[in-house]
Amino acid sequence: MLIDNIFEKIVEMNSNYYTKSEFSKNYLGKCNTYYSSMKCRKEDASKTALINLFKKLKHEAAILEETHIVFDNAYIRENMKQKRNALKEMCDEVL
> Looking at the predicted structure, is the pLDDT value of residue 27 above 90?
yes
Q: What is the pLDDT averaged over residues 49-61?
A: 97
Q: What is the pLDDT averaged over residues 32-52?
A: 96
Q: Which amino acid is at 57?
A: L
What is the Cα–Cα distance from 64 to 82, expressed in whole angstroms?
10
- Do residues 7 and 95 make contact, with C-beta atoms less than 8 angstroms apart? no
pLDDT of residue 15: 80
Q: What is the pLDDT of residues 61-83, one digit of tens each?
A: 999 998 877 888 889 889 999 99
- Do residues 78 and 5 make contact, with C-beta atoms less than 8 angstroms apart? no
pLDDT of residue 32: 96
> Looking at the predicted structure, is the pLDDT value of residue 53 above 90?
yes
